[in-house]
Each structure stands twice: as structure tokens, then as C-alpha cells.
Amino acid sequence: MAKKLISVMDTSFRDGLQSVYGGRVLLNDIKPAIQAFVDAGITHFECGGGARFQSLYFYCNEDAFDMMDTFRSIVGPDIKLQTLTRGVSHVGLDTGSRDVIDLHAKLFKKHGVTTIRNFDALNDVQNLIYPAECIRKHGLNHEVCVTVMELPPECKGAHEANFYTDVLKRIIESGLPFDSVCFKDASGTARPKKVYEAIKAARALLGQDMHIRFHTHETAGVSIACYLAALEAGADGIDLAMDPVSGGTSQPDMLTMIHALKGSEFDLGLDTKRLLEAQKVLKESLKDYFVPPEAKEVCTLIPFSPMPGGALTANTQMMRDTKTLDKLSSVLEAMGEVVERGGFGTSVTPVSQFYFQQAFNNVVFGP
């Protein structure tokens, strides 16, 4: 029987850089690696948006739109380039005006992007509708998200499979336009059985023709198991990265996933030898950058304190800057209580930052 070909989006140059280095990486240093990934057969890249957008201005003295132009010039006209947006917050941390939300989609189209993944941390469909309309209006593909996580122990009332099914039903009923659906687990805490049930229900709702993806991080140590569950339930695509920006706070490693799928009915359609050559180029490109130890670790506190991989390292880098890193374990422990009291908001930007800042203040200044 022929194997099902699974769509892979490489996240090394957005979520990988953000999750491992806090996005503090210069474009010129990674240009050879981008070309090497194209040569290795990667046809779908996440290239910008999220915190990588702001980190270029904050830490690299670079322009995000120049970066997108350069990325497109390297990969050529046929490669899929995808970015991440936070619903009505676009690439900001607060609610944007309608003209800025529209301008965001217009400019990202102008600078070579083909798809925008659009999420809301509260799973509030109203916050997805206008951005979706703008994305489509400017000729981009729209990937709508259901945001996923695990609640701390003893918490109930949200973030079960039926909760996500209800969110997806509201998306469909709203009439907002979308080309694909992503279940986005920024903290990597969702358990495999729940992932299976949520995607199985989504497939039943959406039919066989709608593209469904699952996104997670390795922070809690269950990412490969969740990807296997997602594929068994009918997902069409997953997000992967390459060492040194894979594993830990980032996405599972591409080579590890190829190994995990041996003997299964699924195939990523990638050549291991070519990927190994690309990995060498990426490692060489990033050899002079400091790798925070926590960025490459599985953290046993994360299932109880769901801090997103893409935010954890950015926060620990700031804690290093302020000489408060010794308080990290206490902050993560405190975050579990903050999430519990904070309700059902998914721990992804900007809600995850609210959770983290409150937990940090509780530890440093007292609750």
C-alpha cells in the first residue's frame, strides 16, 4: 500500500531561531543555510512573523521586510513562505487598528509571503475574522488556528478535545475564509490522546479535502508522540526543525521524525543524506552564537506550567540580562498557579507573557 505523503514546514528560520536564540540571529549569518535547505529539498519554510519580527528591530538592527525580501530572493519564486500572526494583534502585543491589520497583510504579501498562520490566544473567533478577510483580500493563503495546551493539574472546564471541536465549529459558522487549519500547541503540553481526539473530530467536521496541520514543541518531551497521534488521526502536515534549532524549546527534529516514522504508513518525502548536509551548513552558520542550556532541554515543570517554547528562551535571555535567571524554577512553579487563576486563555503570545510576567512578579516582589 502506498504511504501517505506528509507535508513538512521547516521552522528552523523562524520558530527555531526564536525558541533557541530568542530570535537574536543576524540574517547574513543564516543565508548559506537557507540555500542549503532549498538544495536539500525543503519546499515550505516558516520565515517570519511572531517574535522573530520584533527581535530583528530590538536586537539585530535589521528590518523584517528586508529579511523577507532576501529570504524570497534566496529560495526563488516557487517555495512556500509562511509567517505567523496573532489575530487582531498582528505582529504586535496589543489590539491593532483595522487599517494596521489590513496593512500587515498587504505588506507581507508585497514582501514575498504566501501563507499567514493566524491565531488568537483566547480562541476568540471574533479576533480572527477581520485578519482572515484581510489576508485573503491581499491574495495570501490563510491558515486559521485553534490554540491548544494542557491545563495544570486539577484544572477543568477547557482545553479538552470537545473544547477545540467547539472552537472549530465557531470558526466554520462565522464564515471567515480559510485554506487550512492548524492546531497550534505553543507550549508542547497537550497529551497525545487529546491531540488524536481533537484532530479526528476536526477531520470529521472538515471532510477529507481540507488541509489539517499540527504544531507543537519538544519542551515537555511528548512532541513526537503527539505528532504520531496527529498523523494517525488524519493530519496532513506537521512542523519540524533542524539541529541546532530543533528539540528542547523548539519543534521536533526532522531527522528524528523520519526515524520515528520508519515502518509506518507515513512518509515525509525527504532525503536523509541531503538533510544531513544542510544540517552541517546550519550548524556552521550558528557556531558563534550562545545556545542557552534551557533551550535544548526537556523541562519536567512545563506540563504543570505551560510556558511556550518560543517565549521561554526569550524570557530566560531577559532574565540573564537582569541577573535573575536563578529564579527561573521558582517562576515556572509560580506560573502554574497563575495559569490556573487566569482561566482558559491558551499559553501563547500575548497571554503567555501575561502569565509569565505575573509569575515573575509574584516571585520577585511577592504575590
Is 46 contained in some domain? yes
| Whether 37 and 140 share a structural domain | yes
Pairing of strands 211-215, 180-184: parallel
Predicted confidence band of residue 249 (pLDDT cuts 50, 70, 90): very high
For 90-115, what is the mean pLDDT? Answer: 94
pLDDT at 126 over 90: yes
What pLDDT, on a 0 to 100 scale, did the predictor assign at position 353? 86
Q: Is residue 168 part of a domain?
A: yes
For residues 62 and 8, membership in a common domain is answered with: yes
Closest of 215, 221, 222 to residue 184, by C-alpha = 215
335 and 253 assigned to the same domain: no
Percent of residues, the chain, with pLDDT higher than 90: 81
pLDDT of residue 313: 84
More confident residue, 176 or 304: 176
The pLDDT of residue 1 is above 80: no
143 lies in the same domain as 179: yes
Domain identity same for 253 and 179: yes
pLDDT of res. 349:
83
Same domain, 260 and 348: no
68 and 11: one domain?
yes
pTM of the model: 0.95
The mean pLDDT value for 28-56 works out to: 96
Summarised one tens digit per residue, pLDDT across range 321-355 is 899 999 999 998 898 889 888 877 898 888 888 89
User: Do both 263 and 141 map to the same domain?
Assistant: yes
Judge if 99 and 138 occupy the same domain.
yes
Task: Please report the pLDDT score of residue 206 as a whole number.
Answer: 98
Decide if 291 is inside a domain: no
DSSP string, 105-163: HHHHHHTT--EEEE--TT--THHHHHHHHHHHHTT-EEEEEEE---PPTT--SSSSHHH
| Domain interval for residue 228 | 4-285
- 290 assigned to some structural domain: no
Give the DSSP letter string of 243-290: TTSSSTTSPPBHHHHHHHTTTSSEE----HHHHHHHHHHHHHHTTTS-
Per mean pLDDT, which range of 160-174, 220-234, 270-284, 318-332 is the poorest? 318-332
Q: What number of H helices and E strands is found in the chain?
A: 14, 10
pLDDT at 74: 98
* Mean pLDDT of the chain, nearest integer: 94
**Of 285, 319, 339, which one is at a domain's C-terminal end?**
285
Domain with residue 48: its CATH number is 3.20.20.70
The count of domains in the chain is 2
Q: What is the mean pLDDT of residues 223-247?
A: 98
Rounded CA Rg of the chain:
19
CA-closest candidate to residue 315, choices 187, 341, 307, 246:
307
161 has pLDDT over 90: yes
For residue 343, give the CATH number of its domain: 1.10.472.90
Q: Do 144 and 12 fall within a single domain?
A: yes
Cα separation of 235 and 3, whole Å? 14
* Residue that finishes a domain, picked among 251, 285, 319: 285
